[in-house]
């Protein structure tokens, strides 16, 4: 089984969010896909199979299958559009979250790399957010008190400023007791940062302490900031140790997530 490792939401290796992309000829067992994800230890390993109806995509964390993942979808589109369908600029995936479309805008091919500067934009569903009371449990788990809390698939905690988000050192065990699948923490970007918002995403329930750049988390974060700032176009920064930039649009209950990708490795899995 061919496997690619791609850093998403960046144009340089060792930045952004790494994902493994596997292209089996037919579907492995769920148990094997879960074992491969555990062996890889990335926040997500994606499996894409071309079926008669088109591409189907599934995502596995070290803790199990997940219903939506942004960076591994971007990585999968990068692999397919570069190595499998190089003449195409659009790929559509059937997933647990419906049909997801990824469009490539070709880059400038600098330094002799035909794919340098390529940007991939994903059309994702926005999560509905419901306000929640800020609790002492949130403050204990995060080490700082949010000023607002919202719940979709994930918990979204809004902090007073960017520095608070960057300095967080949360208690991973206490995070598991909070509602939601992931805990996304966000604040407005500093005036001189060039970013509308900054964030971090924690997923100990999925055996991922911190997701370096979380696309599905931004399907919570970006709708919040779009309403708060009154704009449809946003630039977001994920302030993890690796860091990553997302260029986004929010409209009609959908979120457009755009970013680059960089290939780290190509290999073969020998599951037998």
Where on the phi/psi map is residue 109: left (φ > 0), alpha (ψ -120 to 50), or beta? Answer: left
pTM above 0.85, yes or no: yes
Fold of 2-122+258-268: Diaminopimelate Epimerase; Chain A, domain 1 (3.10.310)
CA distance linking residue 90 with residue 257, whole number of Å: 14
Residue 104: per-residue pLDDT: 97
Neighbours of 225 (CB within 10 A): 23
Residue 88: per-residue pLDDT: 97
Residue 103: per-residue pLDDT: 97
Residue 224: per-residue pLDDT: 98
Same fold, 2-122+258-268 and 130-251: yes
CA distance linking residue 187 with residue 56, whole number of Å: 35
Where on the phi/psi map is residue 117: left (φ > 0), alpha (ψ -120 to 50), or beta? Answer: left
Domain 130-251 class? alpha beta
Residue 112: per-residue pLDDT: 55
Residue 117: per-residue pLDDT: 83
Cβ–Cβ < 8 Å for 106, 90: no
Residues taking part in catalysis: 44
Cβ–Cβ < 8 Å for 201, 225: no
| Mean pLDDT score of the chain | 95
Residue whose token pair is 């559509």: 92
Show the low-confidence residues of the chain (pLDDT under 50).
none
Neighbours of 103 (CB within 10 A): 17
Residue 182: per-residue pLDDT: 97
Q: Count the residues in the chain.
A: 272
Domain ranges, ordered by start, for the chain: 2-122+258-268, 130-251
């Amino acid at each position: 089984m061919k496997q690619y490792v791609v850093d998403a939401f960046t144009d340089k290796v060792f930045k952004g969010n790494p994902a493994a992309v596997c292209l089996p000829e037919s579907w492995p067992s769920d148990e094997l896909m879960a074992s491969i994800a555990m062996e890889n230890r990335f926040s997500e390993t994606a499996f894409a199979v071309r079926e008669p109806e088109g591409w189907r995509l599934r995502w596995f964390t070290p803790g199990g299958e997940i219903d939506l993942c942004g960076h591994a979808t971007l990585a999968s589109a990068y692999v397919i559009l570069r190595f499998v369908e190089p003449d195409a600029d659009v790929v559509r995936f059937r997933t647990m979250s419906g049909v997801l479309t990824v469009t490539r805008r070709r880059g400038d091919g600098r330094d002799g790399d035909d794919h340098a500067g390529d940007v991939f934009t994903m059309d994702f569903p926005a999560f509905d957010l419901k306000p929640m009371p800020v609790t002492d449990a949130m403050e204990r788990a995060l080490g700082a008190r949010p000023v607002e809390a919202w719940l979709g698939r994930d918990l979204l905690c809004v902090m007073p400023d960017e520095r608070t988000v960057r300095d967080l050192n949360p208690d991973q065990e206490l995070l598991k007791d909070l509602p939601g699948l992931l805990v996304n923490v966000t604040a407005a970007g500093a005036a001189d940062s060039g970013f509308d918002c900054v964030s971090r995403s924690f997923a100990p329930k999925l055996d991922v302490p911190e997701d370096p750049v979380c696309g599905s988390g931004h399907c919570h974060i970006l709708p919040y900031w779009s309403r708060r700032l009154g704009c449809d176009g946003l630039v977001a920064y994920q302030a993890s140790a690796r860091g990553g930039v997302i260029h986004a649009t929010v409209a009609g209950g959908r979120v457009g997530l755009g970013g680059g990708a960089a290939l780290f490795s190509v290999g073969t899995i020998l599951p037998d």
